[in-house]
Chain A
């Protein structure tokens, strides 16, 4: 029980804080304005005020109310974390499948979420920008997805919970021939199966 509270706290406060850190880290690295995927604001539900007076009426006990509030907060935090899991992409340099420090930070959060939620499995999609040629990009996209998978497995995620798929340059996130569009397209996306 105590562990769950701690976990909820972690997810509600630390996760957004880490996301913020990641964004900052990225800003320092990129010369041009980085494409930041906005994580949804976690919906934080304050526990309802505890009723001091003892009551003889039949109804939820203090303990039960507290428990419900905790569960609600926990679920909200979980949903926020899952949302961030699928909306935070990791980005790559051109023609590279090497994980940048920023990508590694994001992957650590994803690893923690997966280890805290053992019921979920994930698919890692590897994508490329529009500039290369198609077959090579399917191979490159696979290497990106596999690099992300290996990193998560090294952090303790069961490899059986992770599937990789490469789309090469077939599913561009940003159209257009700008450096920003290319950067946003060179990514791994994460789906919860």
Chain B
């Protein structure tokens, strides 16, 4: 699967269609990054234009425009306008700045416009897509991509990444995936899907209890805890080959988390009698002990630079989140509000930690500054909400929620807005874990 994707993506040639004047990108200031979701930017993505007259093109002009619209809408930055209101006929209207009547787009409220042209000929898919600022009547991005039909989604992802990069200065999350646990076959098994819940794949077939998955930085390995051999043990699974190893330590082996950029992970082991967090190689060899405190120490979460870990400790009597600097050994307590704070997840920018907090028997998701200030509750009165995980750009948080009955996976913005269900699958889904952006 991975190999096939690699071969395919190399066949995608993408050509800068019109070079951007440097001043244009410097002027773009659509998204207020201090709270980008406060005001969604109205965006229009009309049906693309068929450049030839094949039946495939007639289908693709709708399908690809829908794909672009859905992908960008998923970010939470945009309000996609209803095509029914557009003063535009994709069959007659142009797709370039010279042929577009921008007044017709500002009239329907669009501030951004994406047009596209589709040519499908002799098994080759040629796509051109443009992003316009309708108010300034100017082209922001223009790209042409040549590929095969299989590359359609990859091309759409690349264009959408360009759009997000121009507007936010980061690479978004369109090349990321989400691992999760589902009970579809009656057992807790590991699955992965695309960032938007599509392309679901079952990874494990253990017919046991598998839980708390985590991606290595390169996306090649998955670590998780499974009861397949009786007690809770850590497994490392090579996604390309399916080869799997399990760690050999007495006692429990819980909550493995890959160190950023290294084939090493932090995890809780209890072989020495007390539950402590250790640093291990991906093969399970001991490197060193990271915590020194009697009582439960679990759920390490790495800072993006790999120099600190946040973790859960019961050292003060209740489970609370602590941060430890691995070089100096200094540890400070992060959470003081509430009596049950677990599942820390360090944001990709490094400035925040998301976690789960229990109040009156109900779990909700919070985000707190790395200094321990301003805990903000992101979910409210909707069942149990837990296991937060950040998208690689830090803009979204996936989590599990029982708001619809059984546990399901949901996504929201990092500010708690736009909460929606990620995917519909049989059984219960839990423990989402967002991957870094992966090279397709």
Q: Are A136 and B270 touching (Cβ within 8 A)? A: no
Residues of A within 8 A of B379 (CB): none
A74 partner residues in chain B, CB cutoff 8 A: none
Q: Closest CB-CB distance, A176 to chain B, in whole Å?
A: 13
Q: Which residues of B contact A133 (CB under 8 A)?
A: 342-343, 356, 363, 386-387
Q: How many angstroms between the C-alpha atoms of A170 and B319 in the bound complex?
A: 19
Chain A residues 75 to 131 lying within 8 A of chain B, measured CB to CB, are 95, 131
Nearest 4 pairs between A and B by C-beta?
Answer: A135-B255, A133-B342, A139-B296, A136-B342
A180: CB under 8 A from chain B? no
- Inter-chain CA distance A124–B407, complex, in Å, is 29
Complex formed: what's the CA distance from A186 to B340 in Å?
A: 16
Size bin of chain A's contact surface: 10 to 19
Interface string of A53-88 (1 = CB under 8 A from B): 000000000000000000000000000000000000
- Given A95-B318, A133-B386, A166-B232, the answer on whether A139 and B227 have CB atoms closer than 8 Å is no
Verify B227–A136 contact, CB threshold 8 A: no
CB-CB < 8 A to A131: which residues of B?
Answer: 358, 361, 363
Contact between chains at B209 and A135 (CB < 8 Å) = no
User: B212 and A167: CB pair below 8 A?
Assistant: no
B interface residues, Cβ below 8 angstroms from A: 188, 209, 211-212, 225, 227, 230-232, 251-252, 254-255, 268, 270, 275, 296, 298-299, 312, 318-319, 340, 342-343, 356, 358, 361, 363, 386-387, 430-431
B186 smallest CB distance to A (angstroms)? 14
- B62 to nearest A CB, angstroms? 43
Query: Which among B188, B225, B299, B431 is the interface contact of A136 at CB below 8 angstroms?
Result: B299
Question: Residues of A at under 8 Å CB distance from B?
Answer: 95, 131-136, 138-140, 142-143, 165-168, 170, 177
Contact of B212 among A95, A134, A143 (CB under 8 A): A134
Whole-angstrom distance between the Cβ of B434 and the nearest chain A Cβ: 17
| A167 to B188 Cα, complex, angstroms | 13
Which B residues are CB-close (under 8 A) to A143?
275, 296
Cβ contacts under 8 Å, A170 to chain B: 188, 209, 211, 227
Residues of A within 8 A of B431 (CB): 134
B212 contacts across to A, CB distance below 8 A: 134-135
Contacting residues, chain B, for A142 (C-beta < 8 A): 251-252, 270, 275
Q: In the assembly, what is the distance between CA of A97 and CA of B188, in Å?
A: 26
- CB neighbours (8 Å) of B270 from chain A are 139, 142
Q: Report 18 cross-chain contacts, Cβ distance below 8 Å, ordered by A residue.
A: A95-B318, A131-B358, A131-B361, A132-B340, A132-B358, A134-B431, A135-B254, A135-B342, A138-B232, A138-B298, A139-B252, A139-B275, A139-B298, A142-B252, A142-B275, A143-B275, A143-B296, A168-B232
Residue of B nearest to A141 (CB): B252
Contacting residue for A139 out of B188, B230, B254, CB 8 A: B254
Taking A133-B342, A133-B343, A142-B251 as known contacts, 16 extra A-B pairs with beta carbons closer than 8 A to each other, sorted by chain A number, are A95-B319, A131-B363, A132-B340, A135-B211, A135-B225, A135-B268, A135-B343, A136-B343, A139-B252, A139-B270, A139-B275, A139-B296, A140-B296, A165-B230, A167-B209, A170-B209
Cα–Cα, bound, A167→B342 (Å): 18
Contact B231 A165 (CB under 8 A): yes
The answer to whether A166 touches B252, judged by C-beta atoms less than 8 angstroms apart, is yes
B252 touches A136 (CB 8 A): no
Task: Say how far B409's CB is from chain A's closest CB, in angstroms.
Answer: 15
For the complex, give the distance between the alpha carbons of A95 and B314 in Å.
10
How many Å lie between the Cα of A133 and that of B188 in the bound state? 16
Instruction: Verify A166–B231 contact, CB threshold 8 A.
Output: yes
Task: Considering the complex, give the chain B residue whose CB is closest to the CB of A179.
Answer: B361
CB-CB under 8 A from A132, the residues of chain B are 319, 340, 342, 358
Closest to B318 in A: A95
B residues in contact with A134, CB < 8 Å: 211-212, 430-431
* A32 CB, min distance to chain B CBs, angstroms: 15
Complex: A135 Cα to B298 Cα, angstroms: 7
Please tell me which one of the listed residues A140, A167, A177 contacts residue B227 in the complex, with CB atoms under 8 A apart.
A167
List A contacts of B356 (CB < 8 A).
133
A188 to B343, CA, bound (A): 24
Given A142-B252, A165-B230, A136 contacting B312 (CB threshold 8 A) = yes
How far apart are B301's CB and chain A's nearest CB, in angstroms? 11
- B268 to chain A: which residues have CB within 8 Å? 135, 139
